[in-house]
Structure 1
Amino acid sequence: MNMESFVNMYFNSDTIISKIIQIIFVMIAMYFAIKMGKHLIKKFVERQVASSAMLSLDSQRAKTLGEVLKSVLNYSVYFMGIAIIVSILFGEISSTFTFTFASIGGIAVGLGAQSLIKDLINGFFILFENQFGVGDHVTLGNFNGIVKSIGIRTTVIIDFTGDINFIPNGSIIGVTNHSRNDIRFAVDVNISYEENIEKVISIIEITCNDFKSKNEEYISVPIEVSGVTALGTSSVTIRVVGKAKPLSQWKMENELRKEIKLTLDKNKIEMPYPKTQLSNESIGKDDKK
């Protein structure tokens, strides 16, 4: 194919219009394929969550699998769509040009293949070993937050400031999952040295038992009063330790601290505060002046 025939073929108005129509049709087909695929995946996940069959997935695994299937769907549709569009644009070009184009593409793919394969393999093991799932609170290296989605190449987590972090699966070396067990929380209570320590501990224990009974959905084990953990210059520190459902530990800690404070006030238990003492000797000197 010489240059003149190449120009005539690609700048012919009928040819251009035909190719544009075909490309638009392909893009529309891609859009509806992704839309329909995501709808089917959503229905599949909902059926798994609602099902009580022995071989059905639990809610978290079903959601995680759904995110992975969406990722696979997107990659597959985009790859096929781009391949069809390229064939529409360059299908009639000579084999020499096609070979050159394929060679350049092969080099580009080769440079990124190592990282891509590492991402895919590590992503597979994350899913196979069920290291974490969608909705889990995790720490991945320097990133800490809630898992929003898991793809075949990347994991997306939202931290507690609202930032969204896209992490290549191949870069995930260590995983800390904070959502598999109840999370420990602690409340330190400072009281004055003048107070009866046994009485205060007894009051705090009753408060903790009442607090647990009101929050059974978050706290499944008794809250323990560890006892005196520190003797300060003006206060005695009593530590209270409990365990709460993942992501509820901060709420339970704050609310328990509030309940203990209200109970101590009700029982007229004095909290420590800075005190200034004047000796008789210093007062006498001031009077003489």
Structure 2
Amino acid sequence: MELIWKFIEDFFKTTEGSLNLLGKAVAIAVIFIAIFIITRVVNHIVDKTMNNRRLTKLQINDRRMNTLSEILKKVVKYILVFIGIVVSLDLFNINTTSIIATAGIGGLAIGFGAQSLVKDIITGFFILLEDQYAVGDYVKIGGLEGIVEELGVRVTKLRDFTGELHIIPNSNVQIVTNRTRGAMRALVKISIAYEEDIERAIKVLEKVSEDLAKSNDNIIEGPTVLGVTEFGGSDVVLTVVAKTKPMEQWAVERALRKSIKEAFNREDIEIPYSKIVVVDGGKES
């Protein structure tokens, strides 16, 4: 033990007993290693708490819980890093109290220039507080839409279906369309020729809808055949609607279209399509 203390005294301290440059560098390294370890421990605790939320009285959905946990992790990380920087500056006898005070005065001076940043942060907290959307939701913000990949206190990151990442300052979030909350609507319009028996076509659609409702777990209600909803230039339009689980409306629509086409083929119900009639010598071909 004495050898260890002697080694420390010889290599990490000055003759006056204070830490030398090497000692301060090692101390700073130890501080940030400790911060890294504490951050990992806190992240583990947060994740474990969120995973065990069903055993508590917390009534928060999965997406909002994930968003809250990510923001909490970031806040803890920033606080610990700030503390580490202050302690490191103290090792070099830099008066951190005056720096913090100066930063406060400087903050007032640049406050007008940082209005957009403050607005971003305040809006971000209200988005989270009001649960407007969360990580994993499919939303439309202004002219952009996609999956919320990250919700921070300053920006929202959307990943669209082409893979592009849209980074939106929270202060620009004004009108949000959340396509994930609650049941969604699947809507399919089918055209049949004017010559077809409408009642027969409706019965075929009702049978298809009944079969699909039994086999597709993504359907909450319906599908319901609304009947004739439109007359086209060469077709009669029938409409089928259904309520589905969030984000499953497109899959249900595809399944409906496939089943309807197969059923119409079996029943010889014609779906009109563009035709070219050539008249040659009084005969059509």
Q: TM-score range by the shorter chain?
A: 0.7 to 0.9
Quote the Cα distance in structure 2 between the aligned partners of 1:186 and 1:101. Answer: 59
How far apart are residue 271 of structure 1 and its match? 2.2
What are the within-5 Å matches in structure 2 for residues 193-208 of structure 1?
193-208=194-209
Q: 1:63 aligns with which of 56, 63, 66?
A: 66
Q: Matched residues in 1 for 2:78 and 2:215: separation?
A: 48
The percentage of counterpart residues that share the same residue type is 37
Equivalence for 2:215: 214
8 A Cα contact 2:221 2:242, kept in partner: yes
Q: What runs of 5+ residues in structure 2 fail to find an aligned partner? A: 1-13
Aligned to 1:191: 192
Do 1:212 and 1:223's aligned partners in 2 also have CA atoms closer than 8 Å?
yes
Greater CA deviation, 155-164 or 34-43? 155-164
Q: Provide TM-score, normalisation by structure 2.
A: 0.79
Pick which of 223-232 and 102-111 moved more.
102-111
- Quote the residue 1:235 is aligned against: 235
Aligned residue pairs: how many?
265
Residue in 1 that maps onto 2:126? 125
CA deviations 1:155-197 (Å, max 9, x no partner) are 3332222233333333322222222221222212122222211
- Is the alpha carbon distance of 1:87 and 1:137 closer, same or farther for their aligned partners in structure 2, counting shifts above 3 Å? same
The correspondence of residues 137-176 of structure 1 with structure 2, limited to 5 A, is 137-176=138-177
- Pairing of 1:31-70 with structure 2 (within 5 A): 31-48=36-53, 50-51=54-55, 53-70=56-73
> d(CA) in 2 for partners of 1:191 and 1:22?
80
Find the counterpart in structure 1 of residue 87 from structure 2.
84
Confirm or deny: 8 A CA contact 1:224 1:242 kept in the other structure: yes
TM-superposed deviation, 1:277: 3.8
Partner AA of 1:17 in structure 2:
L
* Distance in 2, Cα, partners of 1:195 & 1:47: 58
Judged with a 3 Å threshold, the aligned counterparts in structure 2 of structure 1 residues 278 and 100 are, in CA distance, closer, same or farther, namely closer
Kept in 1: contact 2:220–2:242 (CA 8 A): no
1:77-126 deviation line (CA, Å, top 9, x unaligned): 222223233334xx335x7x996897579537835653343233222222
The verdict on how the C-alpha distance between 1:177 and 1:77 changes in structure 2, with shifts beyond 3 A counting, is same
Q: Is the 8 A contact 1:185 1:241 kept in 2?
A: yes
CA-atom RMSD in angstroms? 3.1
Q: 1:156 to 1:75 in 2, by over 3 A?
A: farther
> 2:106 is aligned with what amino acid?
I
Q: Which residue of 1 aligns with 2:256?
A: 256
Deviation of residue 44 (structure 1)? 0.8
Call closer, same or farther: CA 1:86–1:155 in 2, change over 3 Å: farther
